[in-house]
């Protein structure tokens, strides 16, 4: 009976912390523990109810660093307090009055319960701490930019890492235009070699190039970062002159007001893909690994394959036996795969790896206060087709781009995504037939265009 009583006290502590002390004579300790426990339960129920009423409240909780810091402290205190109650319940069971085998059994039961419960709480506090540190390291306390005409426009830049290259001459430039209510996304692609484009009036770059960026073959779109780095004095107050110059160029080309930017380190991207367990992609042609200044070291074979980080990186960047526009199409397919395959469950289970990889992956000016809003938009966007428009041949001549055509095409794509009829008729070239065949792993060719660069549903052409 003494042994059964000792076991019951341990189980009471597991189910209802403090109840063993209340039943065994340490009523003051039991009352304090029960009050704390019921207070925590009540708080969790209230938070759960608020979460059911408002999903935005849940995302705010998950992205507020002060709340996360408070939760971490509470979890640590709970772990210590619960462990103390288990040890006290073991003492109340009067282990010295038990037989030797029973005493050993009680030590084992107490150890398992104590370490499993306290360990779970401490691990949870660690995960919360990782989330807090990730938010603090990744996001700024900068200016909040409101949606323009109901949309957030985010400039996405991709470039190679390395002491001599990171932040310079981005290899990939896109704008994600996201509906602030529905998350419906249009992805606009810009070729890195575009020439002769304007800047918005009264901008820093417009003052330097009032007739547009037209200084010859050296003045390509992706060279702006280098130009701005050589003229930092013009960009006082800006943390990243190269990004600001590129942002102004993209605003002039597309007619869109850019709210935020995200610069993606392609080498860090490799770590992110590995962190989530790989990405499934439809490899349509043999994709060389290496080449252009280095020997080809291997190939990604055709087929629907789950690629690791190294393979996914080369799928997105390889230009051997292809061209820049085929590569742009493949990059959009990678973006689509990451959006649709990176489920909330995967994020939760592999959060620490994802957080560590992301810190080395992305530089952004998105404020911490806006993270919860963009988390919601990302979940909404997962369930909707992504429309893509790229300003590349045959639609646009990258050497002499038709800016009016680009502006009208941007508005037309946004109107279609929002289910509106275009206010103006545009002269956008229409395809008489869908591209056939593949070039460099993408459906289409330079003459016909690439399907993933101009699509109403990116998933269907990837």
CA distance 253 to 189: 11
Kindly report the pTM of this predicted structure.
Answer: 0.81
Phi and psi angles of residue 191, each rounded to the nearest 5 degrees, phi first: -70, 140
Encode pLDDT of 335-382 as tens digits.
899 888 877 677 766 777 777 777 767 788 999 889 999 988 988 888
DSSP state string for 156-213: EEEE--STTTTTSS-SEEEEEEEETTT--EEEEEE-TT--SB---TTSHHHHH-TT-B
The tokens for 126 are 């660690």
14, 83 contact by CB (below 8 A): no
245, 232 contact by CB (below 8 A): no
CA distance 370 to 53: 20
Encode pLDDT of 292-331 as tens digits.
777 889 999 999 999 999 999 999 989 887 888 999 999 9
Exposed, middle or buried, 78 (CB in 10 Å: 0-12/13-18/19+)?
buried
pLDDT recorded at residue 163 = 42
pLDDT recorded at residue 162 = 45
Parallel/antiparallel/unpaired status of strands 296-300 and 151-159: unpaired
Phi and psi angles of residue 217, each rounded to the nearest 5 degrees, phi first: -65, -15
The tokens for 320 are 């051997």
Lowest mean pLDDT segment, chosen from 68-77, 136-145, 263-272, 420-429? 420-429
Closest CA to 115 of 95, 92, 89, 87: 87
Closest CA to 417 of 158, 150, 215: 150
The tokens for 230 are 């050589």
């Amino acid at each position: 009976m003494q042994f059964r009583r000792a076991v019951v006290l341990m189980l009471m502590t597991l189910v209802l912390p403090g109840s063993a002390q209340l039943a065994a004579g340490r009523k003051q300790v039991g009352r304090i523990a029960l009050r704390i426990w019921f207070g925590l339960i009540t708080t969790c129920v209230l938070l759960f109810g608020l979460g059911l009423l408002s999903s935005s409240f849940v995302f705010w909780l998950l992205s507020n660093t002060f709340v996360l810091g408070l939760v971490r402290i509470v979890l640590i205190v709970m772990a210590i307090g619960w462990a103390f109650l288990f040890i006290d319940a073991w003492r109340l069971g009067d282990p010295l009055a038990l037989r030797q085998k029973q005493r050993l059994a009680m030590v084992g039961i107490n150890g398992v319960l104590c370490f499993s419960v306290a360990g779970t709480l401490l691990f949870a506090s660690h995960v919360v701490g990782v989330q807090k540190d990730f938010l603090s390291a990744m996001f700024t306390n900068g200016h909040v930019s409101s949606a323009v005409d109901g949309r957030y426009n985010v400039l996405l830049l991709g470039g190679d890492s390395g002491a001599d290259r990171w932040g310079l001459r981005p290899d990939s430039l896109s704008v994600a235009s996201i509906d602030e209510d529905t998350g419906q996304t249009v992805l606009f692609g810009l070729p890195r070699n575009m020439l002769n484009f304007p800047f918005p009036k009264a901008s820093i770059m417009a003052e330097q190039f009032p007739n547009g960026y037209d200084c010859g073959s050296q003045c390509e779109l992706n060279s702006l970062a280098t130009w701005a780095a050589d003229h930092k004095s013009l960009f006082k107050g800006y943390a990243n002159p190269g990004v600001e110059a590129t942002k102004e160029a993209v605003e002039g080309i597309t007619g869109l007001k850019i709210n935020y930017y995200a610069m993606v380190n392609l080498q860090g991207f490799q770590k992110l893909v590995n962190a989530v367990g790989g990405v499934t992609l439809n490899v349509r042609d043999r994709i060389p690994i290496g080449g252009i200044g280095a020997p080809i070291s291997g190939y990604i074979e055709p087929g629907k394959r789950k690629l690791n980080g190294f393979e996914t990186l080369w799928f997105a960047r390889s230009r051997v036996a292809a061209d820049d526009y085929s590569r742009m199409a493949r990059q959009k397919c990678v973006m689509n795969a990451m959006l649709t395959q990176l489920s909330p469950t995967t994020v939760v289970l592999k959060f620490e790896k994802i957080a560590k990889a992301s810190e080395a992956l992305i530089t952004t000016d998105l404020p911490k206060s806006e993270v919860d809003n963009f988390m919601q938009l990302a979940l909404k966007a997962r369930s909707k087709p992504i429309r893509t428009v790229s300003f590349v041949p045959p639609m646009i001549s990258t050497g002499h781009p038709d800016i009016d055509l680009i502006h009208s095409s941007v508005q037309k794509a946004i109107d279609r995504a929002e289910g509106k009829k275009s206010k103006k008729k545009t002269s956008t070239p229409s395809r008489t037939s869908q591209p056939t065949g593949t070039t460099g792993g993408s459906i289409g060719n330079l003459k016909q265009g690439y399907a993933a660069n101009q699509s109403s549903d990116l998933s269907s052409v990837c």
